[in-house]
Amino acid sequence: MNVFINPGHALGGNPDPGCVNQAENLRECDIALTVGSIMGKFLEEAGCTVSLLQSHNLGGESPGFPNVTDTANHSLADAFISIHVNAGGGRGAETFCYWRYGAGGRLAASIQNQLVMAMQPLDKGYLDRGIKERPSLCVLRETMMPAALVELGFIDSADVWLLKEHQEDMAKALALGIMDYWKTV
Ligand SMILES: [Zn+2]
């Protein structure tokens, strides 16, 4: 299996760090890159081929930055996963797909299930916000392979400790979710 990992926003936070929690010195771009990189290692150990590209543009909308969907479409990946962190004070995980009943929907559901299964035993307040269709998101619309965009938690809520201390567990859960999806193909 060939997996394309897209940590959200810009490498090093310039020009776009994503959401930020200044009090905790946490940035979405750093969390996404760390979780994506560790996930890639787990997937490689499981025999997958992995590509990783962090990009703050979402598919050609910002020509000065890597066009992640173009790159992914040329990579012959079997699955695409974009990693993000929410803001706005809610709790828990949600995963977006283009269409709930397509392969991307199955990918999103597998990832969401594993992430919630890994985090809820650590913190009962971490909610399963479910999978949601977002055909407007470029990474879901412009990718030719099944794609999902996961929001790991909220940077400005009680999710913070999980985002700080359990990045490896999150990465492992995402990798397991992708492997679960692969069994359904
Ligand atoms: Zn984001």
Lowest mean pLDDT among 28-32, 72-76, 91-95, 125-129: 72-76
Q: What CATH number does residue 54 fall under?
A: 3.40.630.40
Q: Is the predicted pLDDT of residue 180 greater than 90, yes or no?
A: yes
More confident residue, 55 or 27: 27
151 is known as an active-site residue: yes
Angle CA 138–93–129, to nearest 5: 95
Please choose, from the candidates 145, 146, 153, 139, the residue with its C-alpha nearest in 3D space to the C-alpha of residue 105.
146
**Interval between CA 4 and ligand 1 midpoint (Å):** 17
Q: Average of pLDDT values for 55-59?
A: 61
Beta strands in 98-168 (DSSP E): 128-133, 147-154
**Interval between CA 51 and ligand 1 midpoint (Å):** 19
**Alpha carbons 165 and 169: distance in angstroms, whole number:** 9
Protein residues within 5 Å, CB atom, of ion ligand 1: 8, 18, 84
Please choose, from the candidates 83, 111, 93, the residue with its C-alpha nearest in 3D space to the C-alpha of residue 159.
93
Q: Domains in the chain: how many in total?
A: 1
The arrangement of strands across the sheet holding 147-154 comes to: 49-52, 2-7, 79-86, 147-154, 93-97, 128-133
Single out the catalytic residue among 28, 151, 165, 168. 151
**The tokens of 36 are what?**
């994506």
**The tokens of 107 are what?**
């990918």
pLDDT tens-digit series, residues 120-167: 999 999 999 999 999 988 899 989 999 999 999 999 999 999 999 999
Q: Are 175 and 43 in contact (CB under 8 A)?
A: yes
Domain containing residue 127: 2-184
**Alpha carbons 81 and 175: distance in angstroms, whole number:** 10
Lowest mean pLDDT among 9-18, 106-115, 167-176: 9-18
- Buried b or exposed e, range 5-39, using 16+ CB within 10 angstroms: bbbbbbbebeebbbbbbeeeebbbbbbbbbbbbbb
